Structure 1
Amino acid sequence: MKKSLLDKAAVTEIIGRVKNLNTESKGRWGKMTVTEMLLHCNLCNRRILEEDVRYIRPSARQRVIKFIVLYILAKIPKNNRGTPDNDTSGLIDVEYFNEQREFFMETLLRFPERKTPFRSLHPVMGYMRNEDWGIVSWMHMDHHLRQFGV
């Protein structure tokens, strides 16, 4: 069974890993700085937790991609391109590292406490159930923490 941010133990694991980051952490791939990565994750997680859009039935393509991500992929591949609206390159300076890291940890703690359905649209997979969001969000955080060697 895949890990999920809806599970407190998985959140604790991710938080333990992010505590190992510092301003000198360098990416093993990609162009983001560690602070830009934290901002990117924070923006994505905040959108998942706070966005409120009406249900839109996923297309066949979105359902196929979601199936592949949830049931076939073990992890998100290196250099996987995100959508332009999630690009944080050049948007934040290293001086905001601690602030972003604290916000990252606080935000993750909100996932297992969630009792109502997420009402957010994934930019590629569309509308998803809470269980799907928990898995995809864990995979996303794991991807970026692996990117920075933690």
Structure 2
Amino acid sequence: MQNIFSKEDCDVFINRIDQLNLDSQPLWGKMSVDQMLAHCNVTYEMVYDNIHPKPNFLIKLLLKFLAKNKIVGEKPYPRNLSTAPQFIIKGDCNFELEKNRLISYIIKTQELGENEFEGKESLSFGKLTSKEWNNMFAKHLDHHLLQFGV
């Protein structure tokens, strides 16, 4: 598993993102490359930007018991996995804007470091360890970069 808190691993992610272009096609799934970048940004928006509502108690409890281990564990995501409604991106997005936002979020997360994320509250899963945060960030990025062949 890559370490989102390591500058070297972040540089690898950023280099992979830099290989994408507006014409990049997915190897699976329905998202365009600009939608994929916007989709990846949602994970970071939930941490840094107060634009996504917190799930109610019942939904949060269900997510914690049914989805948390799949999301924050080390096992890679399977192809064509369904996603939560707030992660569904419809319509066209600005490729350069979404790409630059994603790179900025990756850099910010790496610079804040592991200690910032130890015990940090997730909107959906409650408090997570820095390892769980890393797994969620790193495997989500890796999954979608592989989806686009980079």
Give, as a single letter, the amino acid of the residue that structure 2 aligns with 1:131. K
| Correspondence for 1:145 | 145
Matches of 1:89 and 1:78 in 2, distance apart? 19
Query: Is 1:120 aligned with 2:125?
Result: no
Identity of aligned residues (%): 25
1:112/1:63 CA distance change after superposition, 3 Å: farther
Give, as a single letter, the amino acid of the residue that structure 2 aligns with 1:43. V
Q: Give structure 2 stretches of 5+ with no counterpart.
A: none
In the TM superposition, residue 60 of structure 1 has moved relative to its aligned partner by 8.8
1:147/1:113 CA distance change after superposition, 3 Å: same
- Root-mean-square deviation over aligned CA pairs: 2.5
The structure carrying a bigger helix percent of its residues is 2
1:24-68 per-residue CA deviation (whole Å, 9 max, x = no partner) reads 0011111111001111111221212345x7xx8x85973575445
Between the two structures, name the one with larger relative contact order (CA 8 Å, sep ≥ 6). 1
Matches of 1:146 and 1:6 in 2, distance apart? 20
Q: If the length of structure 1 is used for normalisation, what is the TM-score?
A: 0.78
Contact map agreement 1:111 1:134 (CA 8 A) in 2: no
Matches of 2:130 and 2:123 in 1, distance apart? 12
Q: Give structure 1 stretches of 5+ with no counterpart.
A: none
SS at match of 1:112: helix
Query: Is 1:80 aligned with 2:81?
Result: yes
In the TM superposition, residue 102 of structure 1 has moved relative to its aligned partner by 1.2
Match of 1:98 among 96, 101, 105: 96
1:62-107 per-residue CA deviation (whole Å, 9 max, x = no partner) reads 357544555551x1110011101110022x34xx111211111111
Q: How does 1:1-150 map to 2 (within 5 A)?
A: 2-50=1-49, 62=64, 65-67=67-69, 70-71=72-73, 73=75, 75-90=76-91, 92-93=92-93, 96-114=94-112, 115-117=115-117, 118-122=120-124, 126-127=125-126, 128-150=128-150
Matches of 2:32 and 2:105 in 1, distance apart? 20
SS at match of 1:27: coil
Q: How many residues in Structure 1 have an aligned counterpart in Structure 2?
A: 139
